[in-house]
Amino acid sequence: MTSELNVTVHGVDAASAVDQLVTDRVASRISAKDATLWGPDAESEASIRLGWVDLHETSRPLLAEIEALQAELRAEGLDRIVLAGMGGSSLAPEVITQTAGVELTVLDTTDPASIQRALGDRLERTVLVVSSKSGTTVETDSQRRAFEAAFAAAGIDAASRIVAVTDPGSALAETAQQAGYRRLFLADPNVGGRYSALTAFGLVPSGLAGADIAALLDEAAAVAGTLASDAPDNPALVLGAAMGSGVADGRDKVAIADAGSGIVGFADWAEQLIAESTGKLGTGILPIAAAADDPEIRGAAPDVLPALVGAQASPPETSVVVTGPLGAQFLLWEYATAVAGRLIGINPFDQPDVESAKAAARSLLDARPEPEPPAFVDAGIEVRGTSGLLDGVSSVEGAVESLLSQLDERGYLAVMAYLDREGADAGLAAVRVPLARRTVRPTTYGWGPRFLHSTGQYHKGGPAQGVYLQITGAVTDDLEIPDRPFSFGQLIAAQAAGDATVLAEHGRPVLRLHLTDRSAGVKRLLEILQ
């Protein structure tokens, strides 16, 4: 992994945009936390969301506290860290620990099999980190309840095994104090979740797992001055201009791939940062988590900008190449996303459409309606679709063809699987690249409900270009959520149905495939979709 931060643009004319950004002193004004940069409508939100620009300084006091707690836990034989968190609370620790090569179990799902697998693994050596800005995130709260019950059933004092990370005054902070949790870390409330990689949300679980979190802050500190400079070679201005300046002309997608950087899983973190920050008001940048030889990179359409993280000898003719260590990359992409937001003309710090799917899921959990009958069942797969999509269709193959026929020359396909991303269903992710080749259009793949906290915002608030393939599965071994009137199986079903409902209300074409037999259904879908 190179220690030098650098952004090189190939085949993209972003110079005039960079010059304007320099003239407008955008970089130094971001560094100075100038909330007026994104217009009057964004000012109130931006004024409480710019704490991320100096986290390399303000997060320093955390290091000693995290190190001391880790030593304390290890002395007691507690060396397995489980993280319950969603969105920015899970994706930053995931990339940090994967890159560092240390173990962290990330729970950002409501799939019962995933939860039960985590509960059944070395509980006697486990510490649970519960991370939520609001303290009311339903997935995280449900996971916390399940672990508390499991600890108690095993004769373990649950409070001694739980570390909470949240904002001051949140419901989780109150719960942690009342229950006497092992430790409560209060994060900077002036940092949004997707910009929180270098706050307690990124550092606490990563540090407890054994990652060198001091190095991350050092890497960010080493480039902070450069990223705050009003200069045409500022990497943040170059990257932000490359991403944002072409949106008005139709280049509104960026495919992010590792090209030998040594950073593992970075595209997933960048995906939620860019999608949730820019996808609103009918515009935005669609990020695609890809690999260096995927069609979105190598056969990039005119509306796709390939972004390679790491040096590569022969990048695509139109591309941007970004090199640098992980801590520097976090700060770079945060600056660049804020810059792109200014160029697009949106507020990069709000997420107006994320709540809609949550509200729809809550409504379904409260009402408990019977599922709408499928249009038809084909070999154990229940098929449902938005109005008109399944007219004259009687097979899964035909339903998929009908959905794909809705794709236009600037469209994208989103595959959304509310299944077990690390268990028996994991292989389904292999359909993404064949579908991208088949449609010759950018294709994203998201595990639900994880993606609801990232690309879910873009799906509803971004341009109406997408077609959506949702895949759900029957639950054969459900898990109750203590002191809640619904189970994990009911929760994930409501989240999927709520998401589909909101997409349909936005006029998006949605094909829903429900696998009554997961194993056979995944096998069949792999055959059909590949």
Is 48 inside any structural domain? Answer: no
**Tokens 């941007």 — which residue?**
320
Yes or no: say if 36 and 21 are a contact pair by the CB < 8 Å rule.
Answer: no
Asked, for residue 45, whether it belongs to a domain, the answer is: no
End residue of a domain, out of 198, 216, 234 = 216
**Residue 364 belongs to a domain:** yes
Rg (CA), the chain: 22
Looking at 305, 324, 344, the residue that finishes a domain is: 344
d(CA 304, CA 318): 9
CATH number for 458: 3.40.50.10490
Which helix (H) or strand (E) covers residue 80, if one does?
Answer: strand 80-84
Same domain (yes/no): 259, 389: no
Q: Specify the pTM.
A: 0.97
Dist. CA 189–CA 168, nearest whole Å: 7
Same domain, 117 and 212: yes
67 and 114 co-located in one domain:
yes
Q: Are 140 and 19 within one domain?
A: no
Cα angle 181, 182, 186 (rounded to 5 degrees) comes to: 75
Q: Which of 154, 183, 216 is the last residue of a domain?
A: 216
Q: Are residues 336 and 366 in the same domain?
A: no
Domain that holds residue 194: 55-216
- Classify residue 250: in a domain, yes or no: yes
Q: What is the pLDDT along the chain (530 residues), one digit of tens a residue?
A: 557 999 999 999 999 999 999 999 999 999 999 999 999 999 999 999 999 999 999 999 999 999 999 999 999 999 999 999 999 999 999 999 999 999 999 999 999 999 999 999 999 999 999 999 989 999 999 999 999 999 999 999 999 999 999 999 999 999 999 999 999 999 999 999 999 999 999 999 999 999 999 999 999 999 999 999 999 999 999 999 999 999 999 999 999 999 999 999 999 999 999 999 999 999 999 999 999 999 999 988 999 999 999 987 789 999 999 999 999 999 999 999 999 999 999 999 999 888 888 888 999 888 888 888 999 999 999 999 999 999 999 999 999 999 999 999 999 999 999 999 999 999 999 999 999 999 999 999 999 999 998 899 999 999 999 999 999 999 999 999 999 999 999 999 999 999 999 999 999 999 999 999 999 999 999 999 98
CB burial of 121-143 (b: ≥16 within 10 Å; e: otherwise) equals: eebeebbbbbbbbebebbbbbbb
Say whether both 227 and 282 belong to one domain: yes
Do 359 and 280 share a structural domain? no
Domain match, 373 and 400 both:
yes
Q: Distance between CA atoms of 319 and 315, rounded to whole angstroms?
A: 7
Residue 297, φ and ψ in degrees, nearest 5: -95, -50
Residue 81 lies in a domain: yes
The kind and range of the H/E element at 8 are: strand 6-10
330 with 441, same domain: the answer is: no
Count the domains in the chain.
Answer: 3
Do 511 and 406 lie in one domain? The reply is yes
